[in-house]
Structure 1
């Protein structure tokens, strides 16, 4: 059911996806679908949390913690922005905010499925970089959150509020470079190696 729903949501978007189409793609009846997911938003969040968890795991597997901060943080930012700039990422955010009162567990489940996994991986990397004297950090959780917020500067709010519709690779690269450079200006040491070619 979740795979069928994923196919329909990615093709038609949240608003455009009909329960009939989802049931047909999943090969089940509407009654069966509703017995598992009584609300379309709940089904969407199940699809979203699974996809986010998979993406977080893939991102973590692609991080080589032995590499210097500029290189690793640039890759983390690339993965992070790739998701939050995506249509799925924006829809998830909007639904979590819109349904916060009725379904507070939606946002909680989503946060634990991906963002928290990624945050933990970043904190672990920051600790290793401090041990190598490449960074100086006292509050690792705060530093990881600050980096995430730096990555969200400029373009993400514009996407969420509909000011812009798309982001070019050059615009994304500008945000990533700004986030990493600012973070290293605050937490870097003289031993922090530059990004490798």
Structure 2
């Protein structure tokens, strides 16, 4: 990216565009989201919108990346590597379960599925910014825990993916197909706790 482009992708109007796009994508999906509606929601002109994102797909991918990055940064900020593994994993599981059933996560998933054949890059971007990035950071933490003797894991990547799947039990499928649209904190905390219990039963040193 050139210096001019880097400057262009910062500032108040750029943030406005992202907020407006997020609002419209959440309400109307990808196909139903019009550039006019996004510009209106963002409070900017179409010319300003196009100066940042000449293609609606690029805008969607930026929204997905920013939101997933924010979630990951929040989790990292809460984690203290000096704390016991169970405590660290519980924090991660609690944040992950809440994110999985959030309106944003569910809508992004639906959009990626709906546009899978026409725009596979949408799903690829969401996967890389969300699940893949989360697993990468989990692998980094698990390696530290193994080196400290708290966990015994041979395949770190597999263990990271297993941890993510444990956090989906009961809630993910129900949310994805609309069987259950809201989840209490108690429900999510129970899933997070059980995920950590099972993970520690398998990998605790």
Report what 1:20 is aligned to: 36
**For 1:67, what is the secondary structure of its paired residue?**
coil
Q: Which has the higher contact order (CA 8 A, sep 6+)?
A: 1
Higher mean alpha-carbon deviation, 12-21 vs 141-150, is at 12-21
Structure-to-structure mapping, 1:99-178, within 5 angstroms: 99-178=115-194
Q: What is the CA deviation profile of residues 117-176 of structure 1, one whole-angstrom value per residue up to 9, with x for unaligned ones?
A: 321221111111111221110000000000000000101110110000100011001101
C-alpha separation in 1, matches of 2:65 and 2:21: 16
Kindly report the root-mean-square deviation, in angstroms, between the aligned alpha carbons of the 2 structures: 2.3
Report what 1:49 is aligned to: 65
Deviation at 1:108, TM superposition (A): 1.6
Give the number of equivalent residue pairs: 188
C-alpha separation in 2, matches of 1:114 and 1:167: 21
**For 2:195, what is the secondary structure of its paired residue?**
helix
C-alpha separation in 2, matches of 1:107 and 1:174: 29
Deviation at 1:188, TM superposition (A): 0.8
Question: Which of 175, 179, 183 is 2:195 aligned to?
Answer: 179
Q: Give the unaligned 5+ runs of structure 2.
A: 1-13
Deviation at 1:183, TM superposition (A): 0.6
Do the aligned partners of 1:90 and 1:160 also contact (CA within 8 Å) in 2?
yes
Do the aligned partners of 2:17 and 2:38 also contact (CA within 8 Å) in 1?
yes
